[in-house]
Chains A and B, each alone.
Chain A
Amino acid sequence: MAVVELKDVRKVYDKKVAVNKLDLRIEAGTMFGLLGPNGSGKTSSIRMMIGITAPDSGTVQLFGEQFSQKQLARVGYLPEERGLYKKMTVIDQLVFLGQLRGLQASEARKRAVEWCERLQIADAMQKKTEELSKGMQQKIQFIATLLHQPELIIMDEPFSGLDPVNAALLQDTLIDLHKEGRTILFSTHRMDQVEKMCDAISLIHNGNLVLNGGMRDVKSRYPRNRVQIQFEGDDAFLQHESVEKAKNYQGLAEIKLKPGGDSQALLAAAASKAIIVKFELVEPTLEEIFIEAAGGKNAIS
């Protein structure tokens, strides 16, 4: 079942097209990465998923139904622009947000305490938010998103501004939640995180979907056209007809093949003149795929 489904969604602010004909489908239980550079339409898409704004055209479905306010009880949303009530204590704030999501005050308090302990901020519970560091505030919001045990967790840039230790802590928490079977959507412009964590991705650029699908599927669509060769001796093979671009770092050559270039012929050519220590066909990184996909799209438009 698709937990989130956007069909032909379009959103225009004044004259700027924020989202253009977006189709997006997130299956239950996936860890989904929404990728794109700043200003590409990620936040606009997310806001439409949870009814903060309405699309100009197209349809939004949550849990297989037309969007309605009551479905929000099953969603936890961490916005990119984060804020908390400055004068409230952490625990009061969490209880308040929990209650707004339909929890009893006592239950909200119990869960808030558990989460604060899990994310190592139990000491801060009685402090006012204005006394806390940015990273701490981010953790509190992270907790607020999860208190009501939502089936769908949507996080807009959840790791931005965190130090590596805390970023890892939150990443691990998300991975745990994923294992529990929750559907998780997070947006980021950091491809390395997505590459590690996600089952499926969408790449958005200038409001357009440029790439969509399961992680393996996406990667397999892009040919393994990169070769790393560690060698000793003659580097004449760098001029081989299959090579489009090559860099030689003192015995380690990074080579990009021409379309249709033959990696095995290159290996043979190299082996005939030099000693090959290591030969590897490298999978393209998500970043490279993105640059290629976005560039291609731009070229068309």
Chain B
Amino acid sequence: MLLANVMLVAKREYLERVKTKAFVLSTVLIPIFFFGFMLIAAMLTKKDSGAHHIAIVSQDAALSNLIKQEIVTGADGAKFKIDTYTPSEGLQKQLDTNITEGKLEGFLLIGSENAADTSKQMQSPGGTYYSNSASDIPMQQRLSSAVRNAYVVERMKGFGVPEKEVDGLMRATGIDLQTIGVSRKSDSTATIFGAVGLMLLLYMTVLLHGINVGRSIVEEKTSRVFEVMLSVIRPDDLLAGKILGVGSVGLTQIGIWLASTGILAAFGLSMAVGGMGKVTDAIHQMPLASFFAFALCYVLGYIYYSSVAAMFGSMVNSEQEMQQMNMFVVMPLASCMAFLYPVIVHPDAWYSVALSLFPPTAPLIMFLRVTMHQPPAWELLLSLGLMFVAIYLVIWLASRIYRVGILMYGKRPNLPEILRWIRYS
């Protein structure tokens, strides 16, 4: 391997890419999409739009009022308009019509059967919420806690506990989650925001630049430049230079993003752009080790996937054929996104560990685990070790297939032919 040639190729690839409009656009657009997406998601989960109009139907008017109070105190900024009813002939039908006509969001029917049964008098009466949305989980949680609280208050008052004391007992005492071994000052929401944000960024950069290496090979193949190149430089040097050059483009891009969020945060500008502050703050609260992990995961993930893309790039003859092959890069990466939620919730479950050891998913999933929760050292070392072995194998394969494949035109090779190429070189 001739280092000077590798560097020359890398420099050419790097400069050619950095000078393009596509680079400028992706550098600007990826964070915009990414922050926009996070922002919208955050807004959708945080804030409900407009006031909720619901009804409570109960035999016990006092309980209805207590529930109403509880809903309003626990509303967390959401607005409520609540009507209370006692059950009567045709009421339920009337309320149903109101819901279908959109005048009402839903109504809560408090169970009455328990009231008569003395053995069950200490139990919360429970209830049923009727609405036209089957998946309104926040509302369901909000109502059940309100009913529970209201019932407890009613009972306590029934036992003669002074009202002041009841209030004191019932005052919500929230629990702050604190992650051990990751960051002392950050709160847990910030950790999740930051980790997910950076993982998305990792996903996009690894995917984008990995695929670019494949495309660049196909480009040289279709323009037949490599014939000239191969008479000057060894194929391994050409491939190494390409991977290095394109990869540095990604590093440059990541550097620009991190620097600009840093600058934004330093001037407090991110706050001015509203919700964006939440995400940038979250990222800034992350410990430096997370950024080191980010860079490492990018480099490893990128080398792995760019070599995979290089392998397929040298087998095909056109951009169109390459598109089909890209699925081998996209699928494992996209599957990481599917596991995002389970891994966040259970970073130490067996599947989280397995995914963070399996080389194709390791760069993304291990990064997520590292930022969420410190995995044991042996897992980190094993994951790194497996990744190095996988990278070595893929590069070995890719360079062999590349050496023969780039000289082949015409029909796409079948598997036996590819195996022959590997033996041949």
B199 to chain A, nearest CB (A): 33
Query: Quick one: closest B residue to A13, CB to CB?
Result: B408
Segment from B169-177, B200-208, B220-228, B315-323 that makes contact with A: B220-228
Contact A88–B5 (Cβ < 8 Å): no
**In the complex the two chains form, is B231's CB within 8 Å of A79's CB?**
yes
Contact of A72 among B9, B12, B232 (CB under 8 A): B232
What's the minimum C-beta distance from A237 to chain B, rounded to whole angstroms? 55
In the complex, the answer to whether B230 meets A52 with C-beta atoms within 8 Å is yes
Tell me which residues across on chain B come within 8 A of A86, comparing CB atoms.
223
Q: In the complex the two chains form, is B407's CB within 8 Å of A83's CB?
A: no
- Please give me the residue from chain B that is nearest to A52 by CB atom: B230
In this assembly, does A20 line the interface, its C-beta being within 8 Å of a C-beta of chain B?
no
Contact of B227 among A69, A81, A96 (CB under 8 A): A81
A53 to B227, CA, bound (A): 11
How many interface residues does chain B have, given as a range?
A: 20 to 34
Select the stretch in A97-105, A165-173, A247-255, A289-297 that faces chain B.
Answer: A97-105
- Judge whether B16 and A97 touch: CB under 8 Å: no
**Interface-central residue, B5, B225, B229, B407, by most chain A CB under 10 Å:** B225
A246 neighbours in B (Cβ, 8 Å): none
Q: Which of B324-363 contact A (CB under 8 A)?
A: none
Chain A residues near B227: list those with CB within 8 A. Answer: 52, 79-83
Tell me which of B20, B228, B233 contacts A79 (CB under 8 A).
Answer: B228
A99 x B223 contact (CB < 8 A)? no
| Among B5, B230, B233, B407, residue most surrounded by chain A Cβ atoms (within 10 Å) | B230
Tell me the complex Cα distance, A170–B246, Å: 37
B-contact 0/1 string along A70-104, CB 8 Å cutoff: 00100101111111111110000000110111000
Of B9, B20, B228, B233, the contact of A83 (CB 8 Å cutoff): B228
Shortest Cβ distance from residue A64 to the other chain B in the assembled complex, whole angstroms = 20
Of the candidates A47, A53, A83, A101, the one whose C-beta lies within 8 Å of that of B224 is A83
The reply to whether A77 and B407 contact each other, CB–CB distance below 8 Å, is: no
Q: Name B231's contact: one of A50, A84, A87, A96 (CB within 8 Å).
A: A50
Flag B202-222 by CB within 8 Å of A: 1 or 0 each.
Answer: 000000000000000000100
B234 at the interface (CB under 8 A from A): yes
In the complex, what's the smallest C-beta–C-beta distance from A19 to chain B, in angstroms?
15
Contact with B along A138-173 (1 / 0, CB 8 A): 000100100000000000000000000000000000
B8 A82 Cβ-Cβ under 8 A:
no
Tell whether, in the assembled complex, residue A83 and residue B225 are in contact, meaning their CB atoms are under 8 Å apart.
yes
Closest CB in chain B relative to A169 CB, distance in Å:
21
| Chain A nearest Cβ from B314, distance in angstroms | 14
In this complex, the interface size class of chain A, counting residues with CB under 8 Å from chain B, is 20 to 34
- List chain B residues, Cβ under 8 A from A82: 224, 227-228
Which A residues touch B8, using CB under 8 A?
Answer: 96, 99-100
Q: Check B225 against A101 for contact (C-beta < 8 Å).
A: no
Select from chain B the residue with minimum beta-carbon distance to A80: B227
Question: Across the interface, do B224 and A85 meet the contact criterion of CB distance under 8 Å?
Answer: no
Q: Contact at A81–B231, with CB atoms within 8 Å?
A: no
Closest to B2 in A: A69
Question: Do A83 and B231 have beta carbons less than 8 Å apart?
Answer: no
Instruction: Give bound CA distance, A82 to B12, whole Å.
Output: 19
Q: Which residues of chain A have C-beta atoms less than 8 A from B417's C-beta?
A: 14
Q: Mark B13-38, 1 if CB is under 8 A from A, else 0.
A: 00010001000000000000000000
A52 and B228 within 8 A (CB)? no
B220 touches A83 (CB 8 A): yes
Contact A83 B5 (CB under 8 A): no
CB–CB A88/B16 < 8 A: yes
Q: Choose among A47, A81, A144 the residue with the greatest number of B CB atoms under 10 Å from its CB.
A: A81
The 19 listed contacts between A and B (C-beta, < 8 Å) are: A14-B417, A47-B407, A52-B230, A69-B234, A75-B231, A77-B231, A79-B224, A80-B227, A83-B220, A83-B223, A83-B224, A83-B226, A83-B228, A85-B223, A87-B16, A88-B12, A97-B228, A97-B232, A100-B5
Give B contacts to A, CB under 8 Å.
5, 8-9, 12, 16, 20, 220, 223-234, 407, 417
Known: A83-B226, A86-B223. 18 other contacts (CB 8 A): A47-B407, A53-B407, A77-B228, A79-B224, A79-B231, A80-B227, A83-B220, A83-B224, A83-B228, A85-B12, A88-B12, A96-B8, A96-B12, A97-B228, A97-B232, A99-B8, A100-B8, A144-B228
